[in-house]
Amino acid sequence: MATPLSADKLLKALRDEGLTVVEHRSWRTNSRNHKGPFGPAHGVMIHHTVSAGTAASVELCYNGHSALPGPLSHGVIAKDGTVYLVGHGRTNHAGLGDDDVLQAVIDERELPPDNEANTDGNRYFYGFECVNLGDGKDPWPAAQLLAIERAAAAVCRAHGWGERSVIGHLEWQPGKVDPRGFTMASMRDRIGKRLDVDPVPAKPVPSKPKPKPPAAKPPAKPKPTFEPYPGASFFKAGRNSPIVTAMGKRLVAEGCGRYTVGPGPRWSQADRNSYAAWQRKLGYTGAAADGIPGKTSWDRLKVPNV
Average pLDDT score over the chain: 92
Query: What is the b/e burial string over 217-252, where b = at least 16 CB atoms within 10 angstroms of the residue's CB?
Result: eeeeeeeeeebebbeeeebeeebebebbbbbbebbe
Q: Which CATH superfamily does the domain covering 7-195 fall into?
A: Peptidoglycan recognition protein-like (3.40.80.10)
Dihedrals phi, psi of 120, to nearest 5 degrees: -75, 105
CA pair distance 303, 250, nearest whole angstrom: 6
CA pair distance 80, 132, nearest whole angstrom: 12
Domain-wise residue ranges, the chain: 7-195, 232-301
pLDDT at 200 over 70: no
CA pair distance 157, 147, nearest whole angstrom: 15
3-state secondary structure 98-112: CHHHHHHHHHCCCCC
CA pair distance 73, 12, nearest whole angstrom: 18
pLDDT at 198 over 80: no
Q: Are 127 and 6 within 8 A, CB to CB? A: no
- Segment 87-92 mean pLDDT: 98
CA pair distance 196, 173, nearest whole angstrom: 29
Q: Which CATH class is domain 232-301?
A: mainly alpha
CA atoms within 13 A on the CB side of 271: 26
The residue type of 67 is A
pLDDT at 171 over 60: yes
Dihedrals phi, psi of 154, to nearest 5 degrees: -60, -45
Three-class DSSP category at 184: helix
pLDDT-based confidence at residue 208 (cuts at 50, 70, 90): low
Nearest one of 303, 290, 306 to 107, comparing CA atoms: 290
- The whole-model pTM stands at 0.66
Nearest one of 8, 25, 37 to 76, comparing CA atoms: 25
CA atoms within 13 A on the CB side of 77: 26
Strand 43-48 versus strand 166-168 pairing type: parallel
Among the residue ranges 72-81, 142-151, 191-200, 237-246, the one predicted with the least confidence is 191-200
What's the confidence (pLDDT) of residue 6? Answer: 97
What's the confidence (pLDDT) of residue 210? Answer: 65
Dihedrals phi, psi of 63, to nearest 5 degrees: -90, -30
pLDDT-based confidence at residue 218 (cuts at 50, 70, 90): confident
What's the confidence (pLDDT) of residue 207? Answer: 53
What's the confidence (pLDDT) of residue 219? Answer: 75
- Within its chain, how far is the Cα of 96 from the centroid? 19
Q: What percent of the chain has pLDDT over 90?
A: 84
Among the residue ranges 1-5, 19-23, 72-76, 216-220, the one predicted with the least confidence is 216-220
What's the confidence (pLDDT) of residue 203? Answer: 46
What's the confidence (pLDDT) of residue 261? Answer: 84
What's the confidence (pLDDT) of residue 209? Answer: 65
- Segment 177-188 mean pLDDT: 97
